[in-house]
Amino acid sequence: MTAAALVYALALIALAATGAGAAWGPGRLWARLPFVSRNRRLL
């Protein structure tokens, strides 16, 4: 794994951990789906 790939992987993990999808992506829409609201681990 190259250094650039490691940096990108860490950045994606950080964005996922901070809930960036709700602010910059379809996170709110995803959370409202019935299947996701029944399975909270998908958030």
Indicate the number of domains in the chain.
Answer: 1
Q: With pLDDT > 70 as the criterion, what percentage of the chain qualifies? A: 86
Range of the domain at 19: 3-42
* pLDDT score at 9: 93
pLDDT at 23 over 70: yes
Q: How far apart are CA 28 and CA 22, in angstroms?
A: 5
- Put simply, whether the predicted model's pTM sits higher than 0.85 gets the answer no
Top pLDDT among 12 and 25 is at 12
Asked whether residue 32 carries a pLDDT value surpassing 70, the answer given is: yes
Structure tokens at 18: 């901070």
Report the share of the chain in percent with pLDDT over 90: 21
